[in-house]
Amino acid sequence: MPSQQLISTVETIKQARPENLMARHFDGDYYLSLNPVLRQRLQKIIASGVENPDSSMGAYAMNPQDYDQFAPLFDAMIHDFHGIPSSVEIKQIHDWDTTRTDCDLAAIDPDLADVSMRVRVARNVSTFPLPGAMDKQQRIDFENLAASAFNELARDPAFGGKYLSITPGSPHEIGAGEYDRRVKAHQMFKDMSADRYLNVAGISGDWPYGRGMYVSNDEEFLVWVGEEDHLRIMAMQRGGNLGELFERLNTGLEKLTLYLPPFATSPKYGAITSCPTNLGAGMRASLHMKLPKLTGNGSDLTRLKQEASHLGVAVRGAGGEHSDAGEDGLVDISPSARLGVTEMQIMQKLYEAAAALWKLETGDKRG
C-alpha cells in the first residue's frame, strides 16, 4: 500500500476504533522516516490491525528483532496494553519459585480442592523467523526439530508421551477423527485458517503444515507446535495445588531447552512472542470456578468482570476466548499482567483472586 494511503487508512481506524492500539500509536512521520525496506516490514507487522480495525493490539512481530527495530511504535503499544507508564523502564525478571507463597486452593475452601487448572508459556526459538514470516519449508523444518526434541523428552518417565502431527505425510500424522477428538477435548488447537487476525498476519499460513502437539501419557503436559508461537508449552490438571502444576510446567520447560536451539528472549521483554500481549513471562495461568451467584447462573458476567478487574484477573467462559459462562456459573479466571511480573507473582495473583472471588460468591460461610 502506498505510504500516504496507509497513513490515512490508519488515521481513519484511529478515529473509528480508539481501542486499536496500533492505530492509536502509529505515527505517520516516523513511518515516512523509514527506508523502503523497513516500511515494507512494518506494513506486514501492522497488516492484521489495518485489515481488522476491531483489533485490540493490531500488530504481530515477524522476527524477534522487530521489537527493537521498530521500538518507537512497539514500545508505545506495549506500555499502553500492559498498563506500564511510559516513564517506567521495562525489565522482565523470571522467578518460578512458588515455595514462598500459598498454593493450596483447598486451604481456601474444600470445594476448591478439585478444580480445572491450566498454565502455559509461549516460546519461540531464535533460529527461525516468528510464525508470521515463516515459509512452508521453515514450518516443516521447525516441526521436525521439535519432534526430535520430543523424542528426547519422552525418555523421561515423568514426561513420556507422543507427538501428534497434522502435517500431511508426516510420520507422526494423525487422522481427522483423532484431530477433532483432541480439539473437542480442549487439548489440540483449532483450525487457525479460520482466524482472520492470524490469516492477515501470516501466522496461520500453510495450514496445516508444520502443526502438531506433543501429549504426555497422562495427557496433563502438552506442547503445541506452530500455533501463534513456535511452541505453547502447558501443564494442566484437575486438583487444587497450583504449586505442583507450576513445578511440572517449569521442569518440562527446562528439559525442552536442553534439546532445542536457544529461545528468543530480551532483557526488556523477556520471552519474545508473536503478539505483544504475550511478552514477558509469556504465561497464561488459569483455573475454572463455579460462581453462580456472581454470574446470575452464567447469564451475566458484568459484575464478576468488574470485581475480577479490581483483583487483576480477567474472566471468560470456560470454553475459551469469547465463550460464555456455564449455567452453573463455570468461568475461567486468569491474571491479566504478564510483562514486568514473574511467574511466581502470576501464580500468587491467581491464588489471591480465587480466594477473594470465592469469598464474594459464598459470603465467606466461615465468617
Interface residue list for ligand DAR (CB under 6 A):
55-58, 197, 228, 275, 277
Q: What is the DSSP string of 2-66?
A: -HHHHHHHHHHHHHH-TT-HHHHH--HHHHHHS-HHHHHHHHHHHHHHHH-TT-SS----SSTTH
Cα(first)–Cα(last) distance of the chain, in Å?
A: 63
Contact between 86 and 334 (Cβ < 8 Å): no
At its nearest, how many Å lie between ligand DAR and the CB of residue 58?
5
At its nearest, how many Å lie between ligand DAR and the CB of residue 138?
21
For ligand DAR, the closer CB: 203 or 242? 203
| CA pair distance 347, 261, nearest whole angstrom | 28
For ligand DAR, the closer CB: 279 or 331? 279
For ligand DAR, the closer CB: 48 or 250? 48
115 phi, psi to nearest 5 deg? -110, 160
Instruction: Please give the grid coordinates belonging to residue 38.
Output: 523497513
Owner of C-alpha cell 523497513: 38
363 membership: H or E segment, kind and range? none
For ligand DAR, the closer CB: 125 or 192? 192
For ligand DAR, the closer CB: 61 or 347? 61
At its nearest, how many Å lie between ligand DAR and the CB of residue 277?
4
Owner of C-alpha cell 497513513: 7
At its nearest, how many Å lie between ligand DAR and the CB of residue 36?
26
| CA pair distance 228, 226, nearest whole angstrom | 7
Length of the chain: 367
At its nearest, how many Å lie between ligand DAR and the CB of residue 271?
13
DSSP assignment letter at 325: P
| CA pair distance 173, 282, nearest whole angstrom | 28
> Any residues with CB less than 8 A from the CB of 316 and at least 6 apart, and which?
322, 323, 331, 332, 334
At its nearest, how many Å lie between ligand DAR and the CB of residue 197?
4
At its nearest, how many Å lie between ligand DAR and the CB of residue 28?
20
DSSP assignment letter at 190: P
For ligand DAR, the closer CB: 58 or 298? 58
For ligand DAR, the closer CB: 187 or 257? 187
At its nearest, how many Å lie between ligand DAR and the CB of residue 134?
17
At its nearest, how many Å lie between ligand DAR and the CB of residue 321?
7
Strand arrangement, sheet containing 221-225? 161-165, 212-216, 221-225, 231-239, 115-123, 283-290, 330-335, 313-317
For ligand DAR, the closer CB: 98 or 277? 277
For ligand DAR, the closer CB: 10 or 294? 10
Give the Cβ contact number of residue 182 at 10 Å. 19
Contact between 90 and 340 (Cβ < 8 Å): yes
